[in-house]
Amino acid sequence: MTQKSAASFRKWRQDWLTSREQQEPRYGIIALSSVRNSLSRSVFHLPHRHPSPAMSDSPTPNPFFRPFPAPFLRREFLGLMTASWGWTMVSSYGADEAPEKGKGPKGRGGRGGGNSSEYVLPEFLAEFATLSIILGRATDKTMTFSALAKETLEGYFEIGTVPGKYVIKTAVTSFQAGEPTELLLGELTPNTEYFYRANYRKPGAAAFTHRPECRFATQRASGSTFTFTIQGDSHPERPQSSHPELYARTLQTAAADGPDFHICIGDDFSVEKIPTTSPESLAAPYLLQRPFLGLIGQSAPVFLLNGNHEQASLYNYNQVDERRTVAIATQVARNRLYPTPAPDAFYSGNTEALKDIGLLKNYCAWTWGDALFIILDNYWHSPALVDSGFKGEDARQPRGEKGKSRGNKNRDWWGITIGDAQYQWLKETLETSGETYKFVFAHHVLGTGRGGIDGCGMYEWGGEARRGEGTFAENRPTWPLPIHQLMVKHKVNIFFQGHDHLYCQQEKDGIIYQEVPMPSDHGYVAYNEDRYQSGTKLPSSGYLRVTVSPEQVTVDYVRSYLPKDEGPDTQQGAIAHTYKVRANSA
């Protein structure tokens, strides 16, 4: 490539990016509304109507908004690059340059690009956008149904314990457009698989549309064998590394495994492409995900974790500007639009309520079969900024003059914390558990940085300081052990995390640190693999299928591909890696 053509290309690209950054993304906005009131059927119970979020006449700009270029066809990008540079092989990263293997653009896992308003289900799955059904709050005797209709519908459910034979029929109820309706199905039998069918129609229509039969299970008894699934960061706001058809294929394949529940590890609801801070606009990422997560959520209760890109954090909440508004609105949207569990007789968790939010519902624990499940939150209990923040404010790289990075030397690593209350709850939960297997989930070690066991020895997680800036005893005087050592003591089997956008299985002190792959990356890249100095490393896309039996746990990495990318060595549903964990000895 000549110097003249290189300069011409750089000027074209800069002019194009500048022109696109002046355009706002076209998110489809659906107003938040209250949860519907009670059904006149004893088997179902509905919560009282929740007040709608306060509305602003003049929404303020979103401080986390990152304008992005509109998408253009991959073949146009390939043609341009081939003509200018003579390239013939380029991964599909939209407007961003193809990353170096394992690093991603700017080492950040593929930031930027595309228009999320076009991130929709494939046409043949449009029915799941018409009516999204997501299960949640599963217990031994209850299941919560959350129904969200695109336009006003009316419908009912039929439920039974034998496929095709339904002994319970609910009353017909109205599903108002854009309003989540929660139905609590009670008086169920523990350790039982149920089958149900949803039926709906437009008001006044003669016939109901019958959805395909779905299943769910109540809490498994000790000695049972069951399966659950986990997805990593889906990032629908990044079209260079997230494809809607691939994401849908991943969720459909996971649903076919018949999991008892599905766990999202975080960074599924980024607010970075939302231009204003109204409750409606900040709810858009949560509404966008409803049809997708409904593909598996209609038969497997969904559990959500906050990632760093949701910007739901104590640090933002404590500010006096738009950051507080974003933190409040995103957490409220999450808990309104998804059936997230609150502390009760079945789930333990965070009992603290915050002004303008109520219960955070951000960390919890429950038992299922012979396993204990613990979900931790990295962001709602740290007064210090954990990861990326306001208009480039970044805990990882504080900015110096003229935007030059000062690196990490001034970072408050000891200030980053899960908080004393969450730590003491974690300690008590582990101490009082007699389950054979123990699984812990968080978005990432410390909620920031990269790597698994490569970073688990640092600060409150492992007790060490990189530059001798204080000791664990000085900085956590009420904690008997760092988090990793606490998990070792109580024989945690696997710690699951996301954030780094690849598959990697590592082990330290008897604990497996499992990085969960992206479910939607059509570039099939192992981002950040250079930050993992050991272990089995593989690229995305896919999900984890975990089968728990009394004798062992089997973890499968199940691959997912677009139809055009399938071949003899790239088959949808193929197992790329598997391993087993034996039952803990007494």
pLDDT at 494: 98
Each residue's pLDDT tens digit, 177-204:
999 999 999 999 999 999 999 999 999 9
User: What percent of the chain is predicted at pLDDT more than 90?
Assistant: 72
Q: Any bridge partners for residue 215, and if so which?
A: 195
pLDDT at 102 over 60: no
- Across the range 100-116, mean pLDDT stands at 36
Q: Is residue 57 part of a domain?
A: no
What is the Cα gyration radius of the chain?
24
- pLDDT band for position 391 (cuts 50, 70, 90): low
Each residue's pLDDT tens digit, 538-572:
999 999 999 999 999 999 999 999 999 999 999 99
Q: Are 127 and 149 in contact (CB under 8 A)?
A: no
- pLDDT band for position 327 (cuts 50, 70, 90): very high
21 or 535, which is more confident: 535
Across 200-217, b (16+ Cβ under 10 Å) vs e yields beeeeeeeeeebeebebb
pLDDT at 325: 95
Q: Is residue 133 part of a domain?
A: yes
Q: Is residue 108 part of a domain?
A: no
Across 230-244, b (16+ Cβ under 10 Å) vs e yields bbbbbbbbbbbbbbb
Q: Is residue 135 part of a domain?
A: yes
pLDDT at 92 over 80: no
Neighbouring residues of 160: CB distance < 8 A, sequence distance ≥ 6: 166, 167, 168, 194, 195, 196
Q: Is residue 548 part of a domain?
A: no
Tokens of 545: 């299928």
Q: Is residue 495 part of a domain?
A: no
CATH code of 197's domain? 2.60.40.10
pLDDT at 400: 40
Q: Are 155 and 132 in contact (CB under 8 A)?
A: no
- pLDDT band for position 249 (cuts 50, 70, 90): very high
Q: Is residue 513 part of a domain?
A: no
pLDDT at 214: 98
Domain that holds residue 144: 123-164+174-217
The three-state secondary structure class of 583 is coil
Tokens of 489: 């003591």
pLDDT at 93: 28
33 or 191, which is more confident: 191
Each residue's pLDDT tens digit, 493-536:
999 999 999 999 999 999 999 999 999 999 999 999 999 999 99
Q: How many domains does the chain contain in total?
A: 1
Q: Is residue 428 part of a domain?
A: no
The pLDDT mean for the chain works out to: 83
Each residue's pLDDT tens digit, 405-448:
344 556 789 999 999 999 999 999 999 999 999 999 999 999 99
- Residue type at 478? T
